Structure 1
Amino acid sequence: MAASDAEAGIEADRTAALAVRDLTVTLPKGMDRPYAVERVSFDLVPGQILCIIGESGSGKSVTANAVMGLLPPALRVVSGTIRCAGTDLVNAPAPTLRSLRGRVVSMIFQDPLSALNPLMTVGDQITEVMMAHGEGNPARRRARALELLAEVGLPDPPLMYQQYPFRLSGGQRQRVMIAMALALEPGILIADEPTTALDVTTQAQILRLIRDIQKRKGMSVMFITHDFGVVAEIADSVIVMEKGLIVEQGSAQAVLQAPRHPYTRRLIAAVPKLTGKDRSPPAAGAGPVLKVENLAKIYRTGSALFGRQRVVKAVQEASFELAPGRTLGVVGESGSGKSSLGRLLIKLMDSDGGRILFRGRDIAPLKESEFRPLRPKIQMIFQDPFASLNPRSTIGHILTVGPVSHGMPYRQARQEARRLLENVGLDAGAFSRYPHEFSGGQRQRIGIARALMFKPELLIADEAVSALDVSIQAQILMLLDRIQRETGVSMIFITHDLRVASQICDEIVVMQRGRIVERGPPSQIFLNPRSDYTRELVAAIPGGQQDMAGAA
């Protein structure tokens, strides 16, 4: 490097809110490549939003964790610098990093359930951030926490303050994480897929919140996402990563409208388009695989004795049918009852009323011992892939333990597991690795493979592709479609992404506050919605109106 170039680099380090130079992080031996990220360099400009885009496993989250000093022991920075507030974070001692986290640099993590402490209330976890940095007295910290809960759009902040994470929906937990990250209003915010688990209306609220705080404080934001709609809406500049390398970077307008690298063009082409086209009609005379009649579930929290009990009607009088080989989409905002409905159908919790007829048999009143033989026939792909995978078990054990316990020979189970891992886009080496060694999207593919190990008749997919980037999302949707055609499996597809629902679902039900407010084929739901709530959902999709103009 010439002297003038070196001086320019030093000056950039001084003016940038965050300056990353030649960052290289190694992967453990035996992985598909030697480095998680290699020779990564970029500047986070003060007061701007930098979006980092790439497929699952491209190194986006590793870069963010390296900045925060939160890399797992298996990953190690071998070269490069990360300068922030006059400090090289790579070589900074632990006390220095602790003093910077939350106050100068804060992070919204991708997986809210595993990042939140299950033994602490929401309020205690938000105030803990302030207490760790000696901010305010208990009353002031509580007032600030309530203010943050309201700011991120959570209902009834005083009650939410006292709740535990397991009582919240996925979108609500993500909003708690955002409140924690913003508690001290840091100068730099790193957001690792913060809107992945959110419905379109809540996503818009969160993006507005982050933008407003960013503008008010001149905050710099490093925003990791696979959603190009988000990028188009908030990004000032964009970095595209592939297999640990930066393949393209520039202004958001330049990258999105005139991408130079073939990989960037493939990612943009894979973005799902909203369509109102109906799929082929069901076969005549086929009886329903699943018939639900007036299903209900009520959650009660607090004490009725002291008049502080809260009653939430999570599912109210839900009724629908699912024909063999068909896909029923369940859409709605976070907290609408979608996931509760899915858990009722697979009997992970008991219903408070109604019937669930599977192949003509009412499974709702069955005891666990009576329902156990039917479990292989009804499988679920869970919304949170990390929390649903045993961190102490290898992927091979996770995939084979269920089938083996139901009588499948281990050799056959092992062969089937390896085949399914390849089908969902993972290499054979994944069989002997552990969940923490995979990115969020890769863990979701493992969850899909586990559900398919039983060759189920009914597959309940709870946000099965919400954690995946657009190209892998397209592959998984094609995989599910192919498996459905080959095996005739019926699917309940729970999602907040209406674009995905329009592509894979034969019929769609729209839920609001536990009730089904509209039901019909994609042509009705997206081209001629009858419910005001459905019209609001469709209108909130980024770019959705342009898609529908073409479809109409």
Structure 2
Amino acid sequence: MGLLPKLIPVSSGAIHLDGRTIVGASPKELRGLRGRIVSMIFQDPLSALNPLMTVGEQITEVLMAHGVGTKASRRNRAIELLTEVGLPDPELMYYQYPFRLSGGQRQRVMIAMALALEPTVLIADEPTTALDVTTQAQILKLIRDIQRRKGMSVMFITHDFGVVAEIADSVVVMEKGRIVEQGSAEQVLKSPTHPYTQRLIAAVPHLTGKDRVPQEKVGDGTILKVEGLSKTYRSGSALFGSQRIVPAVKEVSFELAAGRTLGVVGESGSGKSSLGRLLIKLQDSDGGRILFEGRDIAKLSETEFRPLRPKIQMIFQDPFASLNPRSTIGQILTVGPVAHGMPYAQAREEARALLSHVGLDAGAFGRYPHEFSGGQRQRIGIARALMFKPKLLIADEAVSALDVSIQAQILKLLDQIQRETGVSMIFITHDLRVASQICDEIAVMQKGRIVEHGPPSQIFLDPQSAYTRELVAAIPGERPRSTRPAAVNI
């Protein structure tokens, strides 16, 4: 794509595209190729989308830059693309700004932009990482359909071997900048020869219908009880007819026992993250009760809730955005406990001990977030949440952006921490394979409501809801056996 800065030139080798040499091409030549011949779907849609432009403007800009169509036809093409990638209410979505969309919805906008001119070569860098399984299946089908129709070549960069099994003809495995193995998808996935490939495939999470082995009794009773919780988002103006009303959480009720993990799964935009933010009171609810240790915290003011904040902590979805780039890791870990009255010397010692506990060396204390990989930053986020020794931990897509080997390490770490400390967890995820491995119970959300709730054995092997059956059937690379044949043949 020629997107690396001039300070990082290509030191050797060549790139040939349709008989043309790309390395060393002028900016004007590369501009003519981008979007029209070679297009790219970027991994982080929030960074790649312009926050000052509406979704529609950003898609039509691609068409306008290459002189395609009229203003009216470009708008029609943008709405057609928004429909193709499965975004709700495309006519209204055309006028929305990126910050008003969920992570999965922003990713779909990115995919629509990349496919606008139906390029010859599509480079897809982790395009389905932030997507739920049904949208993921839909996007993979969309890419395959366009590929067949136009003969498009696709370079699919991913850490998800389920996706590889679904979409790839051939596979290249990279380690530390080098290709260590390549061959047909069947050969690499079923008979890997390189130790690194073998380790990667061994770390892939698989759907399990087994219930989690309960740990030793760590507490009594229910730590969290939610009754009829509701939240509605409103934007735009009712006066000018542009008001948008989104019921994100509708009459949600559940209980969480001490020392147990509740998984919350569902499609992008189903209300999972909104539920997490309501529970930790980053947003106020419109109705319902949140009983934490028997006390209703839903109606507490920020001043009243502040003493309880250390007991409820959150691991955020994006480890890049949730750490202050101007603070050292030591400052990030200690500032909260010190603000709540812990002596700095004690906070520093506990921070160093926690860094070691999550697998980072002591030298990390004085370094900055940009010096760490995504997996290491997520470990720092976990350490920050544990600094308060919380009783309830809310993990919002804590492993969705991580490769399979790091993902396996983080899941093992969370399981170990829970067994050692007895912390209760709400694990929000769109990856049902991960949920089946770490959760004691699973709640399935659709359009703000819990449509099914039960242990993994029921949810994945004997789902009662048609929506749950649809989610399970859409898991890439997985074909779980069910005790009810009708549940699979949907």
3-state SS of 2:479 partner: helix
CA distance in 1, matches of 2:67, 2:360: 46
Query: Secondary structure of 1:289's partner?
Result: strand
Query: Is the alpha carbon distance of 1:228 and 1:330 closer, same or farther for their aligned partners in structure 2, counting shifts above 3 Å?
Result: same
2:316–2:381 contact (8 Å) kept in structure 1: yes
Q: Is 1:250–2:183 an aligned residue pair?
A: yes
Contact 2:229 2:285 (8 Å CA) reproduced: yes
Deviations 1:433-474 (A, max 9, x none): 544454444443333333223322111011111111112111
Q: Bigger shift: 396-405 or 307-316? A: 396-405
* Cα distance per residue 1:412-438 (max 9 Å; x no partner): 444444444444445555545544454
In structure 2, what is the equivalent of residue 123 of structure 1? 56
Task: Describe the shift of the 1:127–1:408 C-alpha distance in structure 2 as closer, same or farther (beyond 3 A).
Answer: farther
> Partner of 1:485 in structure 2?
419
C-alpha separation in 1, matches of 2:376 and 2:313: 19
Q: Which moved more, 1:425-434 or 1:224-233?
A: 425-434
Give per-residue Cα distances to partners, 1:217-249, cap 9 Å, x unaligned: 211111111111111111111111122221111
Structure 1 position 545, deviation (Å): 3.0
**Unmatched runs of 5 consecutive residues or more in structure 1:** 1-67
**Aligned with 1:533: secondary structure?**
helix
| Range moving further from structure 2, 107-116 or 73-82 | 73-82
Distance 1:70-1:542 versus aligned 2 partners, 3 A rule: same
Deviations 1:182-229 (A, max 9, x none): 122222111111111111111100000111112222111111111111
2:388 alignment partner in structure 1: 454
1:472-551 alignment runs, 5 A limit: 472-546=406-480
SS in 2 for 1:291: strand
CA distance in 2, matches of 1:87, 1:351: 58
**Greater alpha carbon shift after TM alignment, 133-142 vs 162-171:** 133-142
- Tell me the SS of whatever aligns to 1:365: coil
Q: Is the CA contact (8 Å cut-off) linking 2:461 and 2:480 kept in structure 1?
A: no
- Measure, in 1, the Cα distance between the counterparts of 2:357 and 2:31: 42
Equivalent pairs counted in the alignment come to 482
Please name the residue that 1:146 is paired with. 79
**How big is the shift at 1:366?**
1.6
> Per the alignment, do residues 173 and 262 of structure 1 end up closer, same or farther by CA in structure 2, a change over 3 Å counting?
same
Change beyond 3 A, Cα 1:394–1:211: farther
Structure 1 segment 329-340 matched on structure 2, within 5 A: 329-340=263-274
Structure 2 CA distance for partners of 1:82 and 1:390, relative to 1, 3 Å: farther
Change beyond 3 A, Cα 1:445–1:131 = farther
Alignment correspondent of 1:192: 125
Question: Aligned residue for 1:377?
Answer: 311
Q: Structure 1 CA distance, aligned partners of 2:7 and 2:323?
A: 19
Tell me what 1:27 maps to.
none
| C-alpha contact 2:174 2:181 (8 A) present in aligned 1 | yes
Q: Distance in 1 between matches of 2:32 and 2:395?
A: 42
Distance 1:80 1:340 in 2: 48
* TM-superposed deviation, 1:320: 0.9
Moved more, 202-211 or 454-463: 454-463
Moved more, 447-456 or 259-268: 447-456
Taking a change above 3 Å as real, the CA distance of residues 401 and 298 of structure 1, as seen in their structure-2 partners, is same
2:148 corresponds to which letter in structure 1? K
Q: Amino acid of the residue matched to residue 370 of structure 1?
A: E
- Kindly indicate whether the alpha-carbon contact (under 8 Å) linking 1:114 and 1:387 is maintained by their aligned counterparts in 2: no
Look up the match of 2:405: 471
Deviates more, 1:389-398 or 1:319-328: 389-398
Alignment-derived partner of residue 388 in structure 1:
322
- When structure 1 is superposed on structure 2, of 80-89 and 212-221 the one drifting more is 80-89
Q: Percent identity?
A: 82
CA offset digits 1:381-432 (Å, max 9, x no partner): 1222223233344444333333333334445444444444444445555545
Pairing of 1:30-45 with structure 2 (within 5 A): none
Partner of 2:235 in structure 1? 301
The aligned counterpart of 1:22 is none
**d(CA) in 2 for partners of 1:458 and 1:539?**
32
8 Å Cα contact 1:459/1:491 also seen in 2: yes
- The corresponding residue for 1:230 is 163
- Distance in 2 separating the partners of 1:284 and 1:455: 14
Query: Which residue of structure 1 aligns with residue 486 of structure 2?
Result: none
Structure 2: state its 5+ residue gaps.
484-490
Question: 1:370 and 1:70, CA in 2 relative to 1: closer, same or farther beyond 3 A?
Answer: farther
Is it true that 1:155 corresponds to 2:88 in the alignment?
yes
Do 2:442 and 2:454's aligned partners in 1 also have CA atoms closer than 8 Å? yes
Q: Which residue of 2 aligns with 1:404?
A: 338
Residue type matched to 1:350 in 2? D
1:182 aligned partner: 115
- Worse overlay, 333-342 or 380-389: 380-389
SS at match of 1:79: coil
- Letter paired with 1:199: D
Measured in 1, the distance between the counterparts of 2:26 and 2:366 equals 34
Distance 2:395 2:43 in 1: 20
| RMSD (Å) for aligned C-alpha atoms | 2.4
CA contact (8 A) 1:170 1:334 kept: yes
Q: Residues 235 and 535 (structure 1 numbering): CA distance in 2 closer, same or farther, change over 3 Å?
A: same
Which of 271-280 and 501-510 deviates more? 271-280
Q: By how many angstroms is 1:101 displaced?
A: 2.2
Who is 1:221 aligned against? 154
| Residue 43 (structure 2) aligned to one of 110, 113, 117 | 110
Is 1:275 equivalent to 2:204 in the alignment? no
User: Could you say which residue in structure 1 is the equivalent of 2:17?
Assistant: 84
Alignment partner for residue 368 of structure 1, among 294, 299, 302? Answer: 302
Secondary structure at the residue paired with 1:255? helix
* Distance in 1 between residues matched to 2:183 and 2:351, nearest whole Å: 41
| Structure 2 CA distance for partners of 1:205 and 1:136, relative to 1, 3 Å | same
Query: Which digits, 9 at most, give the CA deviation of each residue in 1:146-167, with x for residues without a partner?
Result: 1110111111111001111121
Q: Residue 235 of structure 2 contacts residue 244 of structure 2 at CA under 8 Å; is this kept in 1?
A: yes
Contact kept, 8 Å, 2:165 with 2:477, in 1: the verdict is: no
What is the rounded CA distance, in whole Å, between the counterparts of 2:343 and 2:189 in structure 1?
50
Shift, 1:271, TM fit: 1.3
Counterparts in 2 of 1:248 and 1:280: CA distance versus 1, 3 Å: closer
Q: Supply the distance in 1 between the matched residues of 2:249 and 2:370 (Cα, whole angstroms).
A: 34
Shift of 1:527: 1.9
- Kept in 2, the 8 Å contact 1:200–1:540? The answer is yes
Q: Which residue matches 2:106?
A: 173
TM-score with structure 2 length normalisation?
0.92
Q: Are 1:108 and 1:192, in contact at CA under 8 Å, matched by a contact in 2?
A: yes
| Residues 491 and 147 of structure 1, relative CA distance in 2, 3 Å threshold | same
CA contact (8 A) 2:170 2:184 kept: yes
**Distance apart, 1:356 and its partner CA:** 0.9
Helix, strand or coil: the match of 1:123? helix
Letter in 1 for 2:197: T
The residue that corresponds to 1:7 in the other structure is: none
Residues 18-74 of structure 1: CA deviation (Å, up to 9, x unaligned): xxxxxxxxxxxxxxxxxxxxxxxxxxxxxxxxxxxxxxxxxxxxxxxxxx2333688
Preserved CA contact (<8 Å) 2:311 2:390: yes
SS at match of 2:255: strand
| Residue range with higher mean Cα deviation, 85-94 or 113-122 | 85-94
Contact 1:331/1:338 (CA < 8 Å) preserved in 2?
yes
Deviations 1:508-531 (A, max 9, x none): 111111111111111211222111
Contact 2:55 2:93 in 1 (8 A): yes
